[in-house]
Structure 1
Amino acid sequence: MTDYAIGDIQGCYDRLRDVLAKVDFSPSRDRLWVAGDLINRGPASLKTLRYIESLGDSAVVVLGNHDLHLLAVALGGHAPKRKDTLAEILSAPDRDNLVSWLRQQNLCVYDSERDIMMAHAGMPHIWSVQQALANAREVEEVIRGENASEYFALMYGNKPEGWSDNLTGMDRWRVITNYFTRMRFIASDGRLELTAKESAGNAPKGFAPWFEFPRTDELRVVFGHWAAIEGKTGFDRFIGLDTGCVWGGALTMMNLDTGEKIHCDC
């Protein structure tokens, strides 16, 4: 079995199938790690979502901000945004099944044998692997539970700016969600700057890209979300796979064991 990780697909179904064909991907023997943002902005969000769902245990999926946005529209009473391409999913006959499947996905996943974590936006330096997993599981239980609609109604927002063990309720869940799905720039004390989307070299004063802060472990992190950096972090252990397919860049996939990257121009 070969495990491949892939960056933000965002509804670019044809390019997804193209890049999988380059490695003769087969769900009977291979597994696809999807770094979030399966859908939205691209031309075929419904086909993409159906295909990833159909892979069953051959797909390892983490939620991205666009995936959570679909759930916020479907369950939390939010209206679609002008540039969204979610209408086909929301009106599909299997909408409820797809929404239910998406709710079962994780905010982060960790492979202890490889010592590698995948999260859509990355991994804040202020958390150990164990802390990150515990915080993720806490929010995942809410998303899967009977109070999910309340969570999605209140999910959006940039406050609190940073982590505290004393946070409770929606403030706690929102900041955990923001670390895993929206983080780009962070301060040394863990405060997030969520309005800037520029390249890594244009950090707001007092902040830096999350992957520039040292860690005390040897963890490798696979992430997407930040198309502006074109997959370049400057660190072998922090592996950016969002290379802007939906914006005319490329869709990037990586063999998790060899590190080989496979690209498909978009």
Structure 2
Amino acid sequence: MFAALFLFLALGVIAGLLAGMLGVGGGIVVVPVLLAAFAYLKFPPGVITHLAIGTSLATIVFTSLSAVRAQQRKKAIDWPLVRALSPAVVVGSFISGYVAGWIPGYWLRLTFGVFLILASIQLLLNWRPPGSRGLPSTPGLWAVGVGIGTVSALVGIGGGTLTVPFLSWCNVDMKRAVAASSALGFVLALFGAAGFVVSGWHDAALPAWSLGYVSLPALAGIAASAVLFAPLGVHLSHRLPVAVLKRIFGILLLAVAVQILFFA
């Protein structure tokens, strides 16, 4: 158990840095590591994937909040934009988290693996849609927000992989897009995690110290270190060549996706 706690703390460092640097919340790293950690700890196979995704969302509540505070100190968050997207994100993320309890772990794992491949391609190609238009009207924002919330909560991420490209397409400056993504990630993760808690509340197969589909020991270990390192990630995002970091990260994601889809 000591080894697992050390792993959770180290994972929190990585998640915090990613949340600050790229506005992605860290879920695309947290979920695969938790899948392996929970299997090592002999958790019941039928709940491992649900626990990994639900716990990932719960950790993003803390990493994104820490990143939001750091971004706010730099006056980088467009709050009217965040308020416009938040209600739809809340609806999509909570429903997705709640419904996930009825989806077999195999399909959640498959969905996550495919999502990782798409995310890695986006990072490796450094693809961003051209800023050729403005933000859509309220119905359009609702459609986008529900979509971001639904997909992100289903795979346990903070939504930055979807939010940042969308905002870039709408001609939002990259630093403002990352900052807004951090704020939206907090809302998404909070309600998505709540959905996973409610969904798993009566699951008799859950191990000790679980709150629905959230592992409290893993949450405590990851969150404790993540909140300390998210501000450092924000600081580094304004100093390091983020495009290079994205490509390195993309290679890592592709390798993880192959492992999850073909060797897990």
Could you say whether these structures have the same fold, taking a TM-score greater than 0.5 normalized by the shorter chain as the test? no
Structure with the bigger RCO (C-alpha within 8 Å, sep 6+) is 2
Q: Which structure is higher in strand share?
A: 1
TM-score (norm 1): 0.34
TM-score (norm 2): 0.34
